[in-house]
């Protein structure tokens, strides 16, 4: 599916240069659900952005479906982002002036899907994430969890093979986070490849493989048992409700 | 991806940023309107002045006092050899072969008191030729005669506005008396209303025999001008040479007089009026510039604000070309809207000025092209240039933009 070899990334802001990634090597097979963990500033987002073709590595080789990404033009990269990759951001990155439906339509517009077909597919994607009722709301009229589900619908609407999520639950309360994880889990079960960055071990437990990044290097890369775990607080709330109900 | 699709994005972008769109359009509108109206006023003034001079007749020569002549015949100077005076006028009348009519003119502002009110008015001393030479006509009574001129009779011909102001309505002024300064004049007639002619409005003037005026009213012998009617427009050059020779002979100093043909005056006046138009256009140009800076500001701010939007669009698969096209269409739509509104408002404003201000305003195509072209370029450049920069960024860099 994808293979990284000797990937480095150096940020050059005037005089200061930051080595965000030192030497990253791994490959991911189709259908995998990978969680990336690591302390803040260790280079997780940098790595995700390179995987998502939102940024280019400084050196090294990134092969996506056996194609060398470095050789692709900007226009070709745009097409890869559009058709091949669905990216979910921690901060949602929805366009505030557009409705949920219009936001989800964006990738379809740039894919050249028009008219009814476009509206149908966008609507379907929103229904799939349980937002059938909220299609015409603007992002500001939605809760964080709902906004993230719009973002997921947008990421999925072109049926990408690779879903990338950079701390998808990072800005959400535990309950909304749980809903998001259930959606991602479902997508993985349907055969989608997912790479997800998270801080939260409970969230990481949903993945079948855990990569730990430390200071721009991979410290640990192991398979694990996929366990659908509720974040601790939600478990507590559920218990409380049960106690209260009795 | 289809162009239509991008256009649709651009239009909905404008809709969702109503204030920004409005301000940008406003900048264009103000600049375009100002330029069109100002230039229209300048062009209108030019055409009116030119027309007025042309209205004097094409076979006219005009003698006015020169720089030095003025000094020589200062206040109280009586007919000293080198002045533009009645004696000179008589001399030309007798000696100029190509001149049909010689019409001297002098004037001074004085009070005219009638039975109703007294007003300040231009008292113009002329000869009986004046009426036909200037194509005026009498509405009431009769113009004064050669005899009146010779006897220095105190006869006054009132301009129609003057008559209306100083006489009560319904009273026939002819035969009544008015006081010009301290001198009593009999009203011989009232001129037909004609409005602006040359540089004067004939309706606001009072005509008296020039001999009477010089003796009783002005207390000096100076003439404002001598108008010479040349027999044939084709003979203008010869006539001018002849008059010039006569003047040199009589006055002996080329700086004592200025001899112009009507065509000379038209071209001199056109020069002046062009400068005037340019001045107005310059003033309007400042507002165009300010409008342009306004557009620039709003566009720059909005693109900076929208770098994130560019990042998001690129992240979901927009190509650079599509981003550029979107911003280009937005800028064109704004500039065009502003331009069209500006043209309409400009034309409307010019019409209103013409209608209510009594000005002549001529909307010129050049001013429209200039104003719209300028605003268009500004809108386009500042709409697209920053967007172009932003569209070159990697999506992450644009997304990181706050
Ligand atoms: N645009 C940038 N310019 C300079 N340094 C950056 C930039 N983005 C990230 N960094 C630096 O690179 C390192 C890794 O950042 P990041 O990938 O965002 O970490 P994480 O997502 O793991 O918290 C950090 O030291 C961060 O300060
Ligand atoms: Mg991060």
pLDDT in tens, B271-303: 888 888 888 888 888 877 887 787 778 777 777
Which atom of ligand 1 is found nearest the CA of B397?
A: 1
The preferred substitution site among A8, A16, A20, A198 for testing ligand 1, maximizing ligand atoms within 8 Å of CB, is A20
Q: Which residue of A has its CA nearest to B8?
A: A109
- Note the pLDDT of residue B376: 79
- Note the pLDDT of residue B78: 38
Give the span between the Cα atoms of A103 and A101, in whole angstroms.
5
What stretch of H or E contains B99? Answer: strand B99-113
Percent of chain A with pLDDT over 90: 81
Residue B374 has pLDDT above 90, yes or no: no
The residue nearest atom 6 of ligand 1, judged by CA position, is A11
Read off the pTM.
Answer: 0.72
- Which segment of B65-79, B207-221, B281-295 scores lowest on mean pLDDT? B65-79
Which of the four pLDDT bands, split at 50, 70 and 90, describes residue A223? Answer: very high
- Note the pLDDT of residue B75: 43
Which of the four pLDDT bands, split at 50, 70 and 90, describes residue B209? Answer: very high
Q: What is the dihedral of CA B7, B12, B13, B19, to 10 degrees?
A: 130
Q: Terminal CA-to-CA distance of chain B, rounded, Å? A: 29
Residue A242 has pLDDT above 80, yes or no: no
* Average of per-residue pLDDT values in chain B: 84
Q: Does B19 touch chain A (CB under 8 A)?
A: no
Q: Does B99 touch chain A (CB under 8 A)?
A: no
Which of the four pLDDT bands, split at 50, 70 and 90, describes residue A241? Answer: low
**What is the rounded average pLDDT of the residues A182-199?**
93
**What is the rounded average pLDDT of the residues B205-212?**
91
Residue B64 has pLDDT above 80, yes or no: yes
- Note the pLDDT of residue A243: 58
Which atom of ligand 1 is found nearest the CA of A47?
A: 17
Question: Cβ atoms within 10 A of the Cβ of A165, count?
Answer: 29
Contacts B330 to A, Cβ<8 Å: none
What stretch of H or E contains B121? Answer: strand B118-126
Domain locations in chain B as residue ranges: 3-52+268-400, 103-223
Percent of chain B with pLDDT over 90: 16
Greatest mean pLDDT among A28-42, B190-204, B210-224 lies in A28-42
Per-position DSSP letters for A132-199, written without gaps between them:
GGGTT--GGGS-HHHHHHHHHHHHHTT--SEEEEESTTTTS-HHHHHHHHHHHHHHHHTT-EEEEE-S
């Amino acid at each position: 599916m994808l293979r990284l070899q000797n990937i480095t990334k150096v940020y050059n802001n005037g005089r200061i240069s930051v080595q965000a990634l030192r030497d990253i090597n791994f490959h991911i097979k189709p259908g995998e659900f990978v969680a990336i963990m690591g302390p803040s500033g260790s280079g997780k987002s940098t790595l995700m952005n390179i995987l998502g073709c939102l940024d280019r590595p400084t050196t090294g080789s990134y092969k996506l479906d056996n194609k060398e990404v470095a050789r692709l033009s900007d226009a070709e990269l745009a097409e890869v982002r559009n058709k091949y990759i669905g990216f979910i951001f921690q901060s949602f990155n929805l366009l505030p002036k557009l409705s949920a439906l219009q936001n989800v339509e964006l990738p379809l517009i740039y894919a050249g899907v028009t008219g009814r077909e476009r509206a149908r597919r966008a609507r379907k994607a929103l229904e799939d994430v349980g937002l059938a009722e909220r299609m015409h709301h603007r992002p500001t009229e939605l809760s964080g969890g709902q906004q993230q589900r719009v973002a997921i619908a947008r990421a999925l609407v072109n049926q990408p093979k690779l879903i990338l999520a950079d701390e998808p639950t990072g800005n959400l309360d535990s309950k909304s986070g749980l809903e998001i994880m259930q959606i991602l889990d479902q997508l993985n079960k349907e055969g989608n490849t997912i790479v997800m960055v998270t801080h939260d071990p409970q969230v990481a437990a949903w993945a079948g493989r855990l990569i730990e990044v430390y200071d721009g290097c991979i410290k640990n890369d192991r398979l694990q048992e996929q366990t659908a775990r509720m974040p601790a607080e939600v478990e507590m709330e559920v218990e409380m409700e049960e106690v209260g109900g009795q | 991806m289809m162009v239509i699709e991008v256009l649709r994005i651009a239009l909905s972008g404008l809709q969702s940023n109503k204030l920004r769109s409005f301000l940008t359009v406003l900048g264009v509108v103000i600049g375009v309107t100002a330029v069109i109206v100002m230039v229209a006023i300048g062009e209108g003034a030019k055409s009116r002045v030119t027309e007025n001079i042309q209205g004097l007749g094409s076979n006219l020569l005009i003698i006015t006092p020169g720089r030095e002549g003025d000094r020589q015949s200062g206040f109280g100077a009586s007919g000293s050899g080198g002045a533009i005076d009645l004696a000179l006028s008589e001399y030309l009348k007798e000696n100029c072969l190509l001149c049909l009519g010689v019409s001297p003119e002098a004037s001074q502002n004085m009070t005219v008191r009638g039975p109703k009110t007294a007003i300040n008015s231009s008292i113009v001393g002329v000869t009986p030729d004046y009426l036909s030479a200037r194509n005026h006509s009498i509405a009431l009574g009769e113009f004064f005669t050669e005899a009146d001129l010779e006897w220095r009779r105190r006869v006054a011909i009132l301009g129609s506005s003057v008559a209306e102001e100083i006489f009560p309505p319904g009273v026939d002024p002819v035969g009544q008396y008015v006081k010009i300064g301290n001198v009593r004049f009999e009203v011989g007639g009232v001129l037909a209303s004609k409005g602006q002619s040359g540089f004067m409005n004939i309706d606001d003037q009072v005509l008296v025999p020039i001999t009477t005026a010089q003796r009783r009213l002005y207390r000096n012998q100076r003439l404002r001008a001598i108008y010479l009617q040349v027999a044939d427009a084709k003979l203008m050059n010869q006539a001018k040479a002849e008059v010039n020779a006569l003047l040199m002979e009589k006055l002996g100093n080329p700086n004592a007089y200025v001899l112009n043909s009507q065509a000379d005056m038209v071209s001199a006046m056109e020069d002046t009026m062009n400068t005037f138009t340019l001045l107005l256009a310059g003033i309007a140009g400042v507002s165009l510039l300010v409008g342009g800076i306004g557009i620039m500001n709003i566009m720059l701010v909005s693109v900076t604000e929208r770098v994130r939007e560019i990042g998001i669009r690129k992240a979901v698969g927009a190509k650079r070309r599509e981003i550029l096209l979107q911003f280009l269409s937005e800028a064109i739509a704004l500039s065009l809207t502003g331009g069209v509104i500006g043209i309409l408002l400009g034309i409307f404003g010019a019409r209103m000025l013409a209608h209510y201000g009594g000005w002549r305003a001529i909307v010129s195509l050049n001013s429209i092209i200039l104003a719209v072209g300028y605003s268009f370029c500004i809108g386009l450049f500042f709409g697209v240039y920053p967007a172009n920069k932003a569209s070159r960024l990697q999506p992450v860099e644009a997304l990181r933009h706050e």
